[in-house]
Chain A
């Protein structure tokens, strides 16, 4: 029972008072920023990154991880009560959660979301404990060709589940990859696309890009739409779902957990992808598809379980391969590097306390979150009654401080503003920013591995399909693309997203 021993070691680390405290701080902050629309885990973790330098590595990672999965809980509260995604992964929860609230069933919706998330969180923790060690073993055998193909699969997965046009999503990925090239070329030391601006020689920080594309761009879009929030604060009512609700929600939670855990592992996956996937699945399998969009409890239970499971299993590629599957994981890698730990398959053997302590802390954190989100729900609801015109200047202040503090350079803030404008234009042109950010994060890694793989194979590109593991990833990518490009499925997919928008 190696896993059991490892988990015991992990819990020994996680329940020390100091680590419990940091887990609590993390999930509190996570819930807070999850509830507040317009500020997400990326901005928060980026802001806190510099101070983790003073913490010990375990406490730092426990806190930062708590922010990410805590935000998934908080985001659902805002989605259900205000019809705004408090966190981007709860976009689909808005659809049925808000309808439930309008029917006076906000309480059961909130409870379903919290309980579903808790269940998913527990299962995902176990999955990480079981799946990570063998994956790390396999990862030790990965060469550059395998890494490259795995990243291709991740990028394809990210485009397939984005909204709207597939071609545009792929184009956005490529655009992101190109922006990732800016800076010093690792192989030759040549400065590429820096246009003699010294600040660009290290490349553009992805925190800066993410804050602009998701942060300022969203504030601008919200301001243009005007304030039309309807908060169901007085009518939360009784929390517990009825027996009938329970019966319908359970299978959805199970399916959501399974799907979310799987999609989270893929690079490019994570909370956002999982919740969209789960909603589509629930709608297809439901006996009452006509109720979707009108307050079907499955539409809350499935995606909420999925986004929490996905948030947690997305730690797997980061911990075992050192590949950041999404922006949050890229920040986690940053946090590890600050502590002088190179992420990769060796972390598990060299730092078992860090690895298993982090996993065990997720269990602890999920338990905290249920308490924070069910009995204490009233506290968060109060927060939602604060008008947006007070909120957004505060968010602007926090984002600007965070970006400025990265290197104490106003240039970063300027770049953030520029990407805010680009993000705004992209949204107007119906080009999704999420695939672009992923391309941007993976760009340098992909180029490095591509060049190494080609060097090893003496310029023979078939190396990607003759190595079995690499070939598997490539075939999976092609299958995914073909499936989505098929006219019948394409139509279904578009229908699903069109209905979700209303």
Chain B
């Protein structure tokens, strides 16, 4: 007999909770000391909570076979997610093997996933590009400076939206970078590099 999942949202939420819970229990028990109730070791609290999470997850999972819930609408499926994670894992592993910078590995993997998303899963554009924009901003800040990192963030972020007009986004970028420099660099004196690291003299300091 094939049981029917009535609440797909509950089903996947349950699976997620069980996976996290079991992971925390196993990892805690195999890596840290349990201790006793009087002198709790580092594994005690996470192991108990992990077990509780897995138990609650099981309840949610069982509920999904009984209670009817709305349809789950995600712009990607579980295979897409696995592929994206695998890309990150492979690129970062290669960087480790060849002794390349981990920062650039993360940037490269982000770029690959973003391009694949735009080409193959345009419906997940908002999710991937907004996240990618933030990642790129963070990792470009040190080598390329505030101006270029902000440019990357604004253009990639805007591309994740519905309408993309070069002129509008360019004006928006100019406004935001002027504001950022005046308020954050000049006003709040945050220690951000404004210009790329390879430029020897920076006109704005």
Contacts and interface: CB of A to CB of B under 8 A. Distances in A.
Given A220-B127, A413-B134, A193 B9 contact: no
B191 A175 contact: no
Contact of A181 (B13, B45, B137, B153): B45
B72 interface: yes
Contact of B161 (A187, A223, A408): A223
Given A50-B190, A171-B56, A447 B41 contact: no
A394 B176 contact: yes
A307 interface: no
Contacts, number: 183
Given A223-B160, A455-B38, A430 B131 contact: no
B36 interface: yes
Interface string A424-447: 110011110000000000000001
A366 to B, nearest CB: 27
Nearest to A390: B172
A424 B127 contact: yes
B53 interface: yes
A410 B138 contact: yes
A219 B130 contact: yes
A413 B190 CA distance: 16
Interface string B12-27: 1100110011001001
A107 to B, nearest CB: 32
A243 interface: no
Contacts of A174: 21, 49, 52-53, 56
A192 B42 contact: yes
A401 B190 contact: yes
Contacts of B70: 430
* Chain A contact residues: helix, strand, loop or mixed: helix
B105 to A, nearest CB: 12
B36 A459 contact: yes
Contact of B13 (A404, A417, A429, A461): A429
A451 B42 CA distance: 10
A454 B176 contact: no
Of B13, B106, B126, B134, the most chain A CB neighbours within 10 A belong to B134
B153 A400 contact: yes
A430 B138 contact: no
Given A193-B46, A220-B127, A400 B53 contact: no
Contact of B39 (A50, A167, A171, A455): A455
Given A224-B75, A393-B153, A450-B45, A417 B131 contact: yes
B50 interface: yes
A397 B156 CA distance: 12
Given A167-B56, A459-B36, A177 B49 contact: yes
A216 interface: yes
Interface residues of B, number: 72
A410 B42 contact: no
Contacts of B20: 175, 178
A413 B138 contact: yes
B17 A171 contact: yes
B134 A420 contact: yes
B197 interface: no
Given A393-B158, A397-B150, A428-B9, A414 B138 contact: yes
A335 to B, nearest CB: 15
Interface in A404-424: 404-405, 408, 410-414, 416-418, 420-421, 424
A188 B70 CA distance: 46
Interface residues of A, number: 63
Contacts of B57: 171
Contacts of A417: 131-132, 134-135
B144 to A, nearest CB: 12
Contact of A178 (B9, B49, B191): B49
Given A414-B135, A429-B16, A397 B154 contact: yes
Contacts of A382: none
Interface in B34-77: 36-42, 44-46, 49-50, 52-53, 56-57, 59-60, 63, 69-70, 72-75
A335 B75 CA distance: 40
Contact of A168 (B21, B60, B75, B161): B60
Contacts of B192: 401, 404-405
Contacts of B38: 454-455, 458-459
A64 to B, nearest CB: 15
A226 interface: yes
A404 B60 contact: no
A386 to B, nearest CB: 11
A51 B188 contact: yes
Contacts of A403: 138
A32 to B, nearest CB: 13
Contacts of B75: 224
B6 interface: no
Of B21, B127, B141, the most chain A CB neighbours within 10 A belong to B127
A428 B13 CA distance: 10
B134 A416 contact: yes
Nearest to A177: B49
Contact of B157 (A188, A392, A408, A458): A392
7 contacts: A174-B53, A178-B53, A223-B161, A396-B157, A397-B154, A403-B138, A417-B131
Interface of B: 9-10, 12-13, 16-17, 20-21, 24, 27-28, 32-33, 36-42, 44-46, 49-50, 52-53, 56-57, 59-60, 63, 69-70, 72-75, 103, 106, 126-127, 130-135, 137-139, 141-142, 150, 153-154, 157-158, 160-163, 168-169, 172, 176, 180, 184, 188, 190-192
User: 5 closest Cβ contacts across the A-B interface?
Assistant: A413-B138, A410-B138, A459-B38, A223-B126, A171-B56
Given A181-B45, A224-B126, A429-B13, 12 more contacts: A168-B10, A171-B57, A178-B46, A178-B53, A188-B42, A223-B130, A223-B162, A393-B172, A401-B192, A425-B74, A429-B9, A430-B70
